[in-house]
Amino acid sequence: MLMNSRIKLNRSVLSILLVFILGTGAAYSQVDVRHYRLNIFLSDTTDEIRGSADIEVRHLQASDSVVFDLTRRDHLGKGMFVSSVVTNKTKEPLRFSQTADKLIVYSSSKRGTSVQYTITYSGVPSDGLIISVNQFGQRTIFADNWPNRAHYWFPCIDHPSDKATVDFIVRAPSHYRIIANGIRKEERAAGNNETITRYEENTPIPTKVMVIGAAPFLVRNTGKVKGIPVSSWLFEGEKNVTAYDTAPFILTFFIRKIGPFSYKKLANVQSKTRFGGMENAGAIFYFEESPAYPGVESLVAHEIAHQWFGDAATEKDWSHVWLSEGFATYLSNVYLEDKYGPDSLRRLMTQQRNKVLKFEKKRFTPIIDHVQSDYMQILNANSYEKAAWVLHMLRREMGDAAFWKATRKYYKKYRNKNADTDDLLRIFEQVAGKDLDTFFNQWLYRAGNPKLTLNWRYRADSKNLILRVTQEQPELYQLPFEFSIPGEPGLRSVLLKDRVTTVEVPVASVPASVIPDPNVNLMAEIKEDPQR
């Protein structure tokens, strides 16, 4: 997703809501959900939703109970009240209990058995499913699940490591049009001026991107790419109807660059997401004002890139979110580089580097941050811009051909599965044919960035430029440092690994200056200091 700087989040409320204990993917649950079939009833007369969830699980170990994530109805009347739980194995209703954010179903199961639980529930969602009014005064309903807010409106294993297929069967007043993941299989009148719409998503996806949206949409077909229909869903009354029309071109570009698209359609939806955009699989939700937003093309590219990285190849846990946000940020840059030329990439990388260096002064943390348990806080310049920089430097380190080969290989191997940073490292090392440990350690696991001081002089007797580069930060980096000298041909490169590196370069005349990193290939704060 992209953070929306114009939407001010209430930090204190968020930290109360979103402080969870970090768990490892493997230990998060004793069951593996294979399929959700979610029946949701929406109404205009109340914000209460009624739901019936058929959840097919495989028990990973023998157990006397199964635990789902689900927010319980609180003293303000918000949250979900469960009225019954049954399975396909027994006729009798099962015993269950609810805690603030768990549904515990008492039922013994052997390891390896598959069971379908049917949970009937209702309530006013306190989060996750946003029921509100849009700028045109229309009532709208949008899921907005990142990072783990799906369990505010349906029972699930709300963790990115448990991917499943999903069907949504939504019954709603007929003036709404319903969007969801997957392909629309059915839309029929149900009496009482209501319509039932059924979508099927046959590719396993994480709960963070399982969504429905209901609004009076105007739907435009904007193209078909390799059999995948691409559409725009805009609010009735929206004037900028062509805002998402770059989507088919972007989809074509990423299919060519990375590999097959994993979903059967791509809808671009104007919504009420709290984010700038949310990469819901096959049904991207953009912020309400996005059609008039000047950066909409880069936003659309970012969210479409997530369909490969984040949705299809999903991080095992939130601490590896850079695998999702770093790729989305960098691939959006690469799409713009392809369309507008290499200068646009240099401009973007410069802006993003400034953002990273500024962020470092505010919060000194590494990209992979196991300490942070408030997941909204990991949506920061490290996970986005610095991670994009890591990929940019990796591309320069490996060369274009090897970098894209490794990216495609990583996607192919982890498509519709989960991966962590080590999984990516192994593939990139294989393709590069060299050890990338130092590179990954210094850029991903270490807080801060290199601080370089330059100092140079001209030696008249030998006609040499003497350049001295000092690494000022406490821990040393290994990095290629590029520079150019105006009036002299070519680009020079020197490997920095010591505290001070000195190079002598023969020059034709007295140089007027030295230009560090002219092609914008290094994440570092660089200063010139003639006094050193």
Half-sphere exposure (CA, 13 Å, Cβ side) for 162? Answer: 30
CB of 2 to Zn ion, least distance (A): 5
CB of 333 to Zn ion, least distance (A): 13
Element (H, E) at 306: helix 296-306
| Strand residue runs (E) in 192-340 | 194-205, 212-215, 217-225, 228-235, 266-270, 277-278, 283-286, 313-315
Q: Which stretch binds Zn ion (CB under 5 A): 207-215, 321-329, 354-362, 432-440?
A: 321-329
Locate 275 and state its tokens: 């984010």
Which CB atom, from 14 or from 526, has the smaller least distance to Zn ion?
A: 14
**Shortest distance (Å) from residue 299 CB to Zn ion:** 9
Least distance (Å) from Zn ion to the CB of residue 502? 42
Q: In sequence order, what DSSP letters do the residues of 200-211 get, joined into one string?
A: EEEEEE-GGG--
- Looking at the Cβ atoms of 107 and 298, the one nearer to Zn ion is 298
Nearer to Zn ion, 228 or 328 (CB): 328
Q: How far is the CB of 302 from Zn ion (least distance, A)?
A: 6
Part in contact with Zn ion (CB under 5 A); list of ranges 317-325, 411-419, 453-461, 489-497 = 317-325
Contact residue for Zn ion among 70, 258, 328, 444 (CB under 5 A): 328
Q: Nearest Cα to 280, choosing from 118, 129, 68?
A: 129
Number of residues interacting with Zn ion: please give it, by CB under 5 A: 3
Q: What are phi and psi of 224, to 5 degrees?
A: -135, 125
Three-class secondary structure of residue 378 per DSSP: helix
Binding part of the chain for Zn ion, among 284-292, 320-328, 355-363, 418-426 by CB under 5 A, reads 320-328
Contact between 209 and Zn ion by CB under 5 A: the answer reads no
- 335: part of which helix (H) or strand (E)? helix 322-340
Toward Zn ion, which CB reaches closer, 1 or 57?
1
Q: How far is the CB of 3 from Zn ion (least distance, A)?
A: 8
Nearer to Zn ion among residue 200 and residue 325 (C-beta): 325
Scanning 84-92, 171-179, 314-322, 326-334 for contacts with Zn ion by CB under 5 A, the matching segment is 326-334
Q: What count of other Cβ atoms lies within 10 Å of the Cβ of residue 119?
A: 25
Nearer to Zn ion, 79 or 147 (CB): 147
Closest separation between CB of residue 397 and Zn ion, Å? 24
- Residue 1 binds Zn ion, judged by CB under 5 A: yes
End-to-end CA distance of the chain: 44
Nearer of residues 52 and 262 to Zn ion, judged by Cβ: 262
- Closest Cα to residue 467, out of 501, 512, 515? 501
Chain center to CA of 382: 13
- The residue assigned the tokens 């609004």 is 215
Which two three-digit tokens encode residue 62?
Answer: 């023998």
Site of interaction with Zn ion (CB under 5 A):
1, 325, 328
